[in-house]
Structures are given as C-alpha cells and as structure tokens.
Amino acid sequence: MGETLLVINAGSSSIKFQLFALAEDTMPVRLRGRIEGIGTNPWLISDDESVPLPPEAGTGLSGGVPGALAFLGTWLRERLGGAMPVAVGHRVVHGGPVYDTHAAVDDGVIATLESYVPLAPLHQPNNLAPIRAIRRLMPGVLQVACFDTAFHRNHSELADRYAIPDALYRDGVRRYGFHGLSYEYIARRLPDLAPEVSGGRVVVAHLGSGASMCAIQNGRSVDSTMGFTALDGLPMGTRPGQLDPGVVLYLMDKGMDARAIERLLYHDCGLKGLSGISNDVRDLLASSDPRAKLALDCFVYRASLAIGSLAAAMGGIDGLVFTAGIGERAPAIRKAIAERTRWLGLDLDEAANGAGALCITTPDSRVRGYVIPTDEERMIALHTRDILRRQRSA
C-alpha cells in the first residue's frame, strides 16, 4: 500500500477516521470508518466490516478515547500488514489568536490549545484527547493540528472587532469564525465546479448540526457568522446562535452559574430548544407538531438574514453554495432559504434542487446556487502532507 497518512476527527463519543495514500498526488482514500459508542458500547465500523471493541477498549479508566485509539491502531496494523501511518492529522476547532495556520504538534502547541478549552468546551477537549493518546501510543509519529479558525484569520480588523475596549481585543477577544476547513475545501473546489463564480462573491452555507455561513471573495474568507466561540450566528442543533448577552446576565441573576449556562447554551438550545422535540432536521421535517415547524422557520429566517448580511460585507453576491449535512441533503430547507433570498436575484430550479444537482438555479438566475459536498478530512490530509514534506525536506 505504501506510505499512508491518517486523519482523525474526534467527538465526545465517536472517532471518524480516514487513511490516505501518500504515494499518489491525488491522495486516494484507502480506508475510512468510525468508532461509535465510546464509553458505552463501542463498535468500529469501516467500509466493509463492523467490529465490536472489547470492553476494556471502550470503557473504564483505561478505555474511552485512548482505549478506542489503541484498538484502532491494532486494527490498522493488521490491515496494513504491520505498517503504520507516517503522520496523523487532526481537526482542532479553535486555534485562538496564536495560530493563523496549521501546526505540527509539540508540548508547547498542546499547552496553548489546552488554554482555549473555555472558548470551545464542546469540541476542544475531544480534539485534544486523541492527540495526547497517539503521543503515548506512537511517540515518534508526526501529528498535525488543523484549525477550523485558520481560514478566517485574514479577515479585516473591522470584521473581527467587537465594540469592546481595545485591551480585550489585544487579549484575544475577537471574532474568529469556524468551519474553516469546510469553507477552504469549497473555495478550492469552486474553480472546477463553478468557475463562473469562483473569482467572485460567494456565500457558503455550512448547514449541519453545527451551522454557519461564510462570505468568500476571490477564494478568501471575508466574514463569517460565527464569532469568538462556536455559539454565535445561526441557530444550530443544540446551540442558540446569535444571542443578546443580556440574556446571559439575566440567567445569572436568576441564579444559574457559568457551568449551568454553558450546559444550556451548548446542549439545550437551537432546534432542540425551540421544538422541544429533536435537534435533528430530519425529525423536524417529518413531524406535524407546530413546534417543529416553528424551529425550522426560525432556522430558515435567520439563515436568510445572514445571507443578506454577508452579501453586504462583499458589496454584493454572485453565488450561494449549500454544504454539510442539512445543506447537502435537505432540499426543503434549501428551497425555503432560496425563497426568502429571491430578492437578491436567486431563482431556484425546483427540479434540480429536489434532485440535489450541482447547480440548483435556473439558467437566467442572476445569483447562481449550488450544492457541493464538503470534505474536511481531505483538507486535513492535504495540510498534514504539506507539513510532512516540509519537515522531510528540512
């Protein structure tokens, strides 16, 4: 199989992985899969098999993420005939004010990223856990942290500033933006898939359980709906999106402490909080409960407002791209958003939208609409390969 590169995208109870071949410039995927149910009933599910993890690998003090990764290492070694990946790339949500590009992991990098846990408490600890585990299991292998914030770090100061004292901005309290690996992938694909808008003004809607939008002009991020943390912007599966900070002060006056407020904002708001039914758009679309309709209507309304705002940041809009789970697989949501943004010049082709075609607008639509699947893991692989090559050439 030759040299390979492993990409890890870790959550609280699951690990997604892809194994890429380094020998070919196209870096084809050799293996892909996930480990689900970590901490309860873990299984490794790949393209061609499902394997239960032994109890000691998925639960208990020696289990959890480290145990699951140890099992994954053994499974990969058997699949690769004893060889192991020469590098491992990780998705890390928050790079803070320090990292405007992706970085090879060392003790200093880990310490800095640990300090950003309060900025992304839902994601950062889960991103760091496999990095630490692999350092123990494979201490000599190159690990690369690829940041969701990096793609947005060329924003203007105007876009990144809050109206707060300068000392707080200098201390790192600013608008970072997230889902950058997804947006970078879409920006790279636009010249091939949508050359007519790739050099222009494009709003990309990354709509999933975590949702945001990004204004991209000439392939570069101009602004994003997310800010200091991944709570800002659009309503999400369990997060509220844009929220008056006075609400937090109100909750504090009502007796809620920081941890209780954090739990509420990260786990009990968004579509779940609005509907009282589910955080999953599929469940809400299938429901006849008026609360489900309210949640979806709020999601669509806020998304349409964000498109207008991001278009203003660029002085206009030439294209709208839908991506991620909802964006790629929920034509009803795309249709509802398109109807609310028709005033911008977007004329939806309902048949193309229903079929999930690449272009979902009519030929004479002034603003072109697209559905483009994202691939964050491939972006992580490309950045990891680049750092590996630089280290080897040095």
pLDDT for 68 equals 84
Place of tokens 């050099």: 199
pLDDT digits (tens, 9 = 90+) for 295-317: 999 999 999 999 999 999 999 99
Positions annotated as catalytic residues are 148
Strand partners, 20: 5, 29
Residue 120's closest CA among 262, 285, 288? 262
Q: Are 307 and 337 in contact (CB under 8 A)?
A: yes
- Hey, what amino acid is at 334? R
pLDDT for 57 equals 60
Q: Which class in CATH covers the domain with range 196-376? A: alpha beta
pLDDT digits (tens, 9 = 90+) for 336-377: 999 999 999 999 999 999 999 999 999 999 999 999 999 999
Residue 325's closest CA among 314, 334, 316? 334
SS3 13: coil
Residue 316's closest CA among 193, 167, 236, 200? 200
pLDDT for 56 equals 64
Distances (CA, A) of 148 to 181, 234, 307: 5, 17, 21
Average pLDDT on 125-135 reads 90
Q: How confident is the model at residue 61 (pLDDT cuts 50, 70, 90)?
A: very low
Residue 367 and residue 319: Cα distance in Å, rounded? 5
List the beta strands (DSSP E) in 140-252.
142-147, 201-207, 211-217, 220-224
Residue 57 and residue 62: Cα distance in Å, rounded? 7
Average pLDDT, the chain: 93
% of the chain beyond a pLDDT of 70: 97
> Is there a common fold for 4-147 and 196-376?
yes
Residue 231 and residue 77: Cα distance in Å, rounded? 39
Q: Does residue 62 surpass a pLDDT of 50? A: no
The domain 4-147 is classified under which CATH number: 3.30.420.40, 3.40.190.80, 3.65.10.10, 3.40.50.720?
Answer: 3.30.420.40
For residue 46, the surrounding DSSP H or E stretch is strand 43-46
SS3 154: coil
pLDDT digits (tens, 9 = 90+) for 160-207: 999 999 999 999 899 999 999 999 999 999 999 999 999 999 999 999
Place of tokens 């937090």: 248
Q: Are 266 and 259 in contact (CB under 8 A)?
A: no
Would you kindly state where each structural domain of the chain is located, as residue ranges? 4-147, 196-376
Residue 174 and residue 292: Cα distance in Å, rounded? 34
Residue 176 and residue 378: Cα distance in Å, rounded? 22
Residue 310 and residue 165: Cα distance in Å, rounded? 25
pLDDT for 39 equals 74
Residue 119 and residue 103: Cα distance in Å, rounded? 19
Average pLDDT on 6-30 reads 87
pTM for this entry: 0.92
